[in-house]
Structure 1
Amino acid sequence: MSGSNLEIVATHKGRRESLPVVAILQEAWQNRLWFIFSFLSLLFIAHLILRYTTPQYLISASLLIRDDSRGTDFGDAALLEGLGLSPIKSSVDNEVEILKSRALLEEVIDDLQLHVQYFATGHLKTTEIYDKSPFRLRLLQPEYSLTPATYQIELSGINSYTLSTQNQSFTGTFKDSLLLPQGLAILTRTRFEPSHDDKYSIVVRDKDEILKNFANALSVSASNRMASIVNINITDILPVKGEAILKQLIINYSQASVNDKNRIADSTLAYITENLNEVTAELSAIEKNIEQYRSRNHLTDIAENGRLLLHNSDQYAKEANQQSIRLEIIESLEKYLTENPEHAVPSSLFQQENSFTDLAKKYNEIQLLRKKILATVSESHPSMRPLDSQIVTLKADLRAGIIAQKNELKVSIIALNRFTERFHRQINQIPGKERMLVNYWRQQQVKQELYVYLLKKRVETAISRSSTIANARVIDLPKADKIPVRPNKQLVLMMSGLIGLALPIAIQHLRALFNNKISSKAEIVNSCNVPILAEISHQNDFIAEIFHSNKRSIVAEQFRIFRTNILFIAVAQKCQTILITSGMGGEGKSFIALNLSASLALSGKKVLLIEFDLRKPTLAGTLNLKKSGFTDYLISNQNIEDFLQVSGSDYSFHILTSGQEPPNPAEILCFAKVAEMIHAFKKMYDYIIFDTPPIGLVTDSQLLSSYADISFYVIRQQFTFKDQLEDVAEIFKENRLPKLHLILNGTRQLPDYRYSYGYIEKPPNALMKQIRKLKLNSKTS
């Protein structure tokens, strides 16, 4: 029988290990009511969340950003390059960071007054109103760090109002300034009329808080790496407010981009104008120096002046040469006249001097005349004397004229040479003057070119400033989705359903994970190889189930099966003495012993139950029996039959209680009288059941194991620790208890499981009464 049990357990064990999903589904089916309750509860909670959670909408816009690395051109680059100006470089990554910058977000908050919020409180909830608020509060000089406050608005008249907080109130008139703790403010009416059913309030928040919420809700990202399109998204409970925020963000971003370019252009214009004024003053000074230099050196055209000086110098040089030639002629004539006093003077050499020519002609005529006269007369002739006297006079005149002419020519030559030298000096000074003038001209040319360049750049910069455009172009204007993004109804319902189904599984898993006690038969089978002989369901009443023969409950049937298994084992091997123990107290040893004894007695067997739990006896008190028993027998000389008691049921069995509590229970069990007693009982009874103390706590069970034919180890579900299975396996392996079998006590059946296959407990009929009478007669006989 034990071998068959082991085979069944092994088969069951293999089935458990091969089909874990089936086991999980079976466990889930057992707790299906919890699954249904959890599923419906989570769906109900999800419905409440969807009902009372304020929806949030996604507002999106897209911009085309100038990106020079990706070839994005807005048309102004060619214009600026045509003017000789380089366009400002930009990239998508930089512009994305600018769109998310703190400074830009602060400008949007200030422009839209986002730190001031308006709420309307109705009968059920408070709702933020943005564009439909009947009131508008404007802080004239808002500081960055504002004192948070909530003001309740109450109309005290046609044009007056009262703003109140928990501590103070402020009364004012619409469109008039009012001093609040946050600064000077003005409250105005809008075109919307206030509702009489709602209460309106104004909340002033810290800008830093608004900025953090704004930054968390805003998302700026490039669509992909190949394009220069940037997507801007923001989530808000008010679609109109979100659209206004994105519109203002785009406007401020574009204006900031234009302002940056204009600031660069203005700085460039100021620099160019400043340098142009300096260059103009320097150019005027250089031109004035050239004017003074020309006037001082009498220079109109230095090349023409040089040519004129060269011409005059040549003219004077030629004239000086002519005078020198004439001087040489005069000197030759003077020499000729001295060496040839009787010859005629060549008068043709002095054609330009008429007086000298006449004198020379006259001298030559007289010489010719004298020569003619000498041809006829001698030199001593008196007629020669006047001629000689006249020749001497004329010769003296000629010499005087030659000397005068020669002096005149010398003076003239000296004067001409002086003029020539002066012209030469002036000509020699021309390169230096020209160099100075070229230096002046060079300075003038440099300053003039710089002046023209700066003047041109000033015009070009002014033109580029007038044509400045932003670095972005709006592709899609801000637009809110009609369906809210949060809460996602389908997602919330789906997740709630999944959580509702997973929560019981998780709880069961956690309970199993942290549970250190035995919860199923499979755990016993997987931990040790000791065969399980019987399973006893959970029973609240200690003895009420078995002590009546007509009981048809699950527990009664389980004990009948337990009894049948023992009878089958008894066919193959001796099972007269049965030892029942456990690992610790409270696992149901006495319950099993009592009901097993009653069950065996119902089958017509003579049964004796001996309570060997000397330390904590319970049978006498439970069954209302006398306390005297085993220990009293050992210390007395009475017969053992004097201490035997009847269980009191209709199918009674004998009980030997533990008796008085001894000081040394383990030593008492070693007495020889104990062995004699058990030997005597074996002759008197068919079955002797030992109710022993826990083997895991004391050694009494091991001392009594020598008298037992078979041993039952009781394990209680959700009570016995899993670690104790190791002790059971060790006891079974070392054979400390004879023919050890396990009894699983306190099991809880499946909800739809019927142990007796539909048998239910019925009142005993006539047939059952007859069977009962026959059993009593057979027992008596």
Structure 2
Amino acid sequence: MNPISSPVSIQDQQPPQQGFSIDFKRIVARAIQFWYVIVISLLTALGIAFFKNRYAVRIYPVTASILIKEKEETAEGRLLYNNPLVSGFRNYLNEIYLIRSYPMIERTLTKLNFGVAFYKEGNVLTTESYELPFKAYVLNKSKNANDAFYFKWISKDKYELGVHSNEGIGVGRKVFLFNDTIDYQGLKMVFLLNEPLTEAPSEHQDQLVFTYTEPSTLAGSYISRLGVNWAEEGAGVMNLAISGSNPSKEIDFINGLIEQYQLFDLEKKNRVASRTIDFISEQLEGITDSLRHVEQQLERFKNRNMLTDMSVEAQRLYSKLEGIESQRAELIVRNNYFKYLSDYLKQSKNLDQIILPSSVGINDGILSSLIQNMVGFQLQLKLNNRTENPLANELKRKIDEIRKDIVESVKNQQSTDNIRRDYLNKQINDIERQLSYLPVAERQRISIQRNYSLLENLYIFLLQKRAEAGISKASTTTDIEIVNPPMIAGGPISPQPSRNYMMAFVLGLAIPLGAFVLIELLNTKVQSKEDIEKVISIPFIGGVGHKSTENNLEVLSHPKTAIAESFRALRSNLNYFLGKQNKSVIMITSSISGEGKTFTSINLASVISLSGKKTLIVGADMRRPKLFGDFNLKNDKGLSSFLSGMASFEEVIQKTSFPNLDLVSGGPVPPNPAELLLTSKMTQFVTDAKLQYDFVIIDTPPLAIVTDAFVISQLADHTLFLVRQNYTPKDLLRTAEDFYRSGKLKNISLVLNDIYKSGPGYGYGYGYSYSYGYSYGVGNSKRGSEYYS
């Protein structure tokens, strides 16, 4: 035991750090002590990693790249694909959402027949069998139909179906022929062989599980696994990626998705051309009859009047009138289109099928841009409206705003056309006034010829536009091209054996170590000298080990044990606090009961008496007197008897069976123990005791429960404050520190009692070894508050 320096004054003491921190040395010591827990944890984690690597389904990545070509529009100019404006029905920023939309994925799954799947059941894993020599197609499904069956290929033209259950093929087992349409358990379906066979291959005769899932239900899974992104900023290449357990199936899915995306692109373009042709054809139907009627009228007029050529003046006026009528014909087409556009915006909900103004010769950049934007947003809304997409409401709002802008633009165009029409009508009126001077026959011919020219110009113009739309439809190609075909991108991405083993190793260590840290954090009891020094500034005088028996006379019964030696060290360290005093009164107290005050009082007094000093043990706990029981003495007279004046000092002294060691028990329990201690009789008692004894050891009640020890501390030369390892709450140390710094407890030192854990992190080691080769260590037997009452 190292010597302990004399304490300095309370005013010179610096308050220690408040609060408790993690003691990593203690955690390491606990980990070393329970090494087998760490080993078991590591083996368990590595075992789980092994089974995961062995039996987990391999997941393979499949990637592909497509190019979305940039278009050039002669009317609106060249727009870059990554511009937020729409160019030719395409907003390139929305392509990622379009290709991952529910309708697009569902359409692909339906085309590929992915709703049908066959699985092979194993002892541990169930894996999908994809490339089989037969296929199944579900033609119709009733509301309550089963969707899982057992399938077995039994011969070259026969197979067997049964209802899937945990017991195997049960009720409903039937044999069917390939290529026959069957109705079974609510499903109308057909099983087809890929090619005729002479017999069923043996490798395909295992029992399989046949399932059917609606493509609409299956779409969500593929959308969540499908990754789509641009190759880089400023590039028109889009990367597609998906991961799955069957790379062949995922390759087919990517191929099918690209094919459906190309078809969607073609359909979108052809839809506009088809509606343009239909619109022009409707216009031509009305003009054709009128043109035929006027043509016949002109022919009859010529035959009746025998007119072959017009006069020079008539020819001049007619030519002038023909040019004006040509302009009127253009205005008629424009007016018909604006009327169609206004009615379409009011009545139709399929705004993506609108006819572009350029299709009928209206080359207005603003109107065309507005319509293209609206069509683009409408297409995007249709592809995302079935999902809970937060962009849907925003798209609807934008469409409504564009619709209003288009209506306003149409009104402006009509106002401009009305001005032109009024001007043309004025010119026509002037020419008609000049025609009135011509002969009647020529005037009539010019009038008929004028109607004919107007209808003929309209007819030719519409025929030209319809031919252009037809050529455009016939020559339409998709803007989607494959850059890199779907392929497996390396080995399996899951499971990753090395990563799994590394994670297992880390977790195998982290879990037990984390548990040790958690135990440390949740442990609110004092464990070590360091725990004490972090909170209080009371001098530390020494430690006492754990006793293995119920006998409190440890020093007297077993003087050669490590516990007896720790009390000898405690006796030696007291000299540094007591100095050269010949007579000393030592008070022993603690915060709560069960921390070993009685045990410490008895054994400290015993070790002092063994050194030849006359020692008196005083049981000042008059509420629960029990010191007498360890020495087989009586309690009929004691301290309470002396303080109440019912017995003299000599009468309360009881001789023990050990030399130099006497006892004053607590005596009969008085009704007012605290008041008795406050009387002058207590001072007299201590004075009388010091006259007859070298050391007086006073055992007191706990401070946190009663105040008796504060009264006695004024009469003591030194106070030993007990803290019990793994028993005393850490929060009570702050209470002791408050008593010390406030001066309620003076000349105090602290004893760590019942040390049964020592070594790294526990801050205090003790032991005693004799030179005869026999070592007395600390036992690890039962601990209990009844041993240290």
Q: Which residue of 1 aligns with 2:161?
A: 162
Secondary structure at the aligned position of 1:127 is classed as strand
CA displacement 1:394-423 (0-9 Å, x = unmatched): xxxxxxxxxxxxxxxxxxxxxxxxxxxxxx
Q: Which range moves more in the overlay, 538-547 or 284-293?
A: 538-547
Contact 2:68 2:480 survives alignment (8 Å): yes
Q: Which range moves more in the overlay, 690-699 or 261-270?
A: 261-270
Do the aligned partners of residues 201 and 294 (structure 1) sit closer, same or farther apart at CA in structure 2, a change above 3 Å counting? same
Q: Which residue of 2 aligns with 1:177?
A: 181
Q: Which residue of 1 aligns with 2:150?
A: 152
Identity %: 26
Aligned mates of 1:247, 1:548 — CA distance in 2? 91
Secondary structure at the aligned position of 1:169 is classed as coil
Aligned mates of 1:683, 1:644 — CA distance in 2? 17
CA displacement 1:284-308 (0-9 Å, x = unmatched): 222222212223333111228999x
Q: Does 1:445 find its partner at 2:448?
A: no
Contact 1:575 1:710 survives alignment (8 Å): no
RMSD: 4.1
Q: Which residue of 1 aligns with 2:95?
A: 95
Do the aligned partners of residues 506 and 197 (structure 1) sit closer, same or farther apart at CA in structure 2, a change above 3 Å counting? farther
Q: Which residue of 2 aligns with 1:342?
A: none
Do the aligned partners of residues 645 and 255 (structure 1) sit closer, same or farther apart at CA in structure 2, a change above 3 Å counting? farther
Aligned mates of 2:629, 2:154 — CA distance in 1? 85
Secondary structure at the aligned position of 1:592 is classed as helix
Do the aligned partners of residues 629 and 762 (structure 1) sit closer, same or farther apart at CA in structure 2, a change above 3 Å counting? farther
Q: Which residue of 1 aligns with 2:309?
A: 301
Aligned mates of 1:206, 1:279 — CA distance in 2? 51
Aligned mates of 1:757, 1:701 — CA distance in 2? 29
Contact 1:269 1:458 survives alignment (8 Å): yes
Q: Which residue of 1 aligns with 2:131?
A: 131
Aligned mates of 2:726, 2:763 — CA distance in 1? 22
Aligned mates of 2:738, 2:118 — CA distance in 1? 77
Q: Which range moves more in the overlay, 580-589 or 147-156?
A: 147-156
Q: Does 1:46 find its partner at 2:45?
A: no
TM-score (norm 2): 0.69
CA displacement 1:235-269 (0-9 Å, x = unmatched): 21221221121111111111122122222222223
Do the aligned partners of residues 620 and 161 (structure 1) sit closer, same or farther apart at CA in structure 2, a change above 3 Å counting? farther
Aligned mates of 2:52, 2:657 — CA distance in 1? 64
Contact 1:612 1:693 survives alignment (8 Å): yes
Aligned mates of 2:471, 2:740 — CA distance in 1? 105
Secondary structure at the aligned position of 1:487 is classed as coil
Aligned mates of 1:212, 1:476 — CA distance in 2? 25
CA displacement 1:734-765 (0-9 Å, x = unmatched): 32223122222244212699977996578688
Aligned mates of 2:583, 2:294 — CA distance in 1? 139
Contact 1:218 1:233 survives alignment (8 Å): yes
Residue 522 of structure 1: how far off its partner (Å): 3.3
Q: Which residue of 2 aligns with 1:66?
A: 69
Residue 570 of structure 1: how far off its partner (Å): 2.4
Q: Does 1:202 find its partner at 2:210?
A: yes
Q: Does 1:276 find its partner at 2:284?
A: yes
CA displacement 1:346-385 (0-9 Å, x = unmatched): xxxxxxxxxxxxxxxxxxxxxxxxxxxxxxxxxxxxxxxx
Do the aligned partners of residues 455 and 62 (structure 1) sit closer, same or farther apart at CA in structure 2, a change above 3 Å counting? same
Q: Which residue of 1 aligns with 2:758?
A: 749
Do the aligned partners of residues 30 and 727 (structure 1) sit closer, same or farther apart at CA in structure 2, a change above 3 Å counting? same
Contact 1:13 1:525 survives alignment (8 Å): no
Contact 2:105 2:219 survives alignment (8 Å): yes
The answer for unaligned runs of 5 or more in structure 2 is: 79-85, 316-434, 775-789
Aligned mates of 1:306, 1:685 — CA distance in 2? 158
Q: Which residue of 1 aligns with 2:719?
A: 711
Contact 1:58 1:485 survives alignment (8 Å): yes
Do the aligned partners of residues 607 and 172 (structure 1) sit closer, same or farther apart at CA in structure 2, a change above 3 Å counting? same
Q: Which range moves more in the overlay, 87-96 or 633-642?
A: 633-642
Do the aligned partners of residues 607 and 761 (structure 1) sit closer, same or farther apart at CA in structure 2, a change above 3 Å counting? same
Aligned mates of 1:756, 1:59 — CA distance in 2? 64
Secondary structure at the aligned position of 2:609 is classed as helix
Contact 2:566 2:767 survives alignment (8 Å): no
Aligned mates of 2:293, 2:87 — CA distance in 1? 36
Secondary structure at the aligned position of 1:522 is classed as helix
Contact 1:65 1:95 survives alignment (8 Å): no
How many correspondences in the alignment?
625
Aligned mates of 1:616, 1:285 — CA distance in 2? 132
Q: Which has the higher contact order (CA 8 A, sep 6+)?
A: 2
Residue 456 of structure 1: how far off its partner (Å): 2.9
What letter matches 2:758 in structure 1? Q
CA displacement 1:39-79 (0-9 Å, x = unmatched): 554344333333333232222111111345xx799xxx99x
Do the aligned partners of residues 565 and 291 (structure 1) sit closer, same or farther apart at CA in structure 2, a change above 3 Å counting? same
Secondary structure at the aligned position of 2:534 is classed as helix
Aligned mates of 2:719, 2:160 — CA distance in 1? 94
Contact 1:63 1:474 survives alignment (8 Å): yes
Do the aligned partners of residues 546 and 40 (structure 1) sit closer, same or farther apart at CA in structure 2, a change above 3 Å counting? farther
Q: Which residue of 2 aligns with 1:247?
A: 255
Which of 528, 546, 563 is matched with 2:555 structurally? Answer: 546
Residue 683 of structure 1: how far off its partner (Å): 2.7
CA displacement 1:8-38 (0-9 Å, x = unmatched): xx99999x99xx99x6367436524365654
CA displacement 1:489-522 (0-9 Å, x = unmatched): 4443334444444445544554454444434433
Q: Which residue of 1 aligns with 2:391?
A: none
What letter matches 1:205 in structure 2? T
CA displacement 1:188-228 (0-9 Å, x = unmatched): 45688465995421233354542221221112222233112
Q: Does 1:665 find its partner at 2:668?
A: no
Do the aligned partners of residues 622 and 163 (structure 1) sit closer, same or farther apart at CA in structure 2, a change above 3 Å counting? farther
Q: Does 1:646 find its partner at 2:656?
A: yes
Q: Which range moves more in the overlay, 569-578 or 635-644?
A: 635-644
Contact 1:146 1:206 survives alignment (8 Å): no
Contact 1:552 1:762 survives alignment (8 Å): no
Q: Does 1:608 find its partner at 2:613?
A: no
Aligned mates of 1:470, 1:126 — CA distance in 2? 41
Q: Which residue of 2 aligns with 1:56?
A: 59
Q: Return the structure number with greater helix share.
A: 1
Do the aligned partners of residues 196 and 121 (structure 1) sit closer, same or farther apart at CA in structure 2, a change above 3 Å counting? same
Residue 485 of structure 1: how far off its partner (Å): 2.2
The answer for unaligned runs of 5 or more in structure 1 is: 79-85, 308-426, 766-781
Aligned mates of 1:604, 1:222 — CA distance in 2? 95
Residue 721 of structure 1: how far off its partner (Å): 2.6
Do the aligned partners of residues 639 and 596 (structure 1) sit closer, same or farther apart at CA in structure 2, a change above 3 Å counting? closer
Do the aligned partners of residues 294 and 247 (structure 1) sit closer, same or farther apart at CA in structure 2, a change above 3 Å counting? same
Aligned mates of 1:304, 1:738 — CA distance in 2? 140
Q: Does 1:589 find its partner at 2:597?
A: yes
CA displacement 1:68-101 (0-9 Å, x = unmatched): 5xx799xxx99xxxxxxx9934232222211111
CA displacement 1:606-635 (0-9 Å, x = unmatched): 322222222234444556554445257537
TM-score (norm 1): 0.70
What letter matches 2:124 in structure 1? L
Residue 154 of structure 1: how far off its partner (Å): 4.9
Residue 540 of structure 1: how far off its partner (Å): 4.8
Aligned mates of 1:475, 1:110 — CA distance in 2? 25
Contact 1:590 1:619 survives alignment (8 Å): yes
Do the aligned partners of residues 531 and 265 (structure 1) sit closer, same or farther apart at CA in structure 2, a change above 3 Å counting? same
Residue 711 of structure 1: how far off its partner (Å): 0.8
Secondary structure at the aligned position of 2:161 is classed as strand
Residue 652 of structure 1: how far off its partner (Å): 7.5
Do the aligned partners of residues 155 and 732 (structure 1) sit closer, same or farther apart at CA in structure 2, a change above 3 Å counting? same
Q: Which range moves more in the overlay, 187-196 or 496-505?
A: 187-196
Residue 111 of structure 1: how far off its partner (Å): 2.2
Which structure's CA Rg is the greater one? 1
Aligned mates of 1:438, 1:743 — CA distance in 2? 132
Aligned mates of 2:58, 2:761 — CA distance in 1? 46
Do the aligned partners of residues 621 and 251 (structure 1) sit closer, same or farther apart at CA in structure 2, a change above 3 Å counting? farther
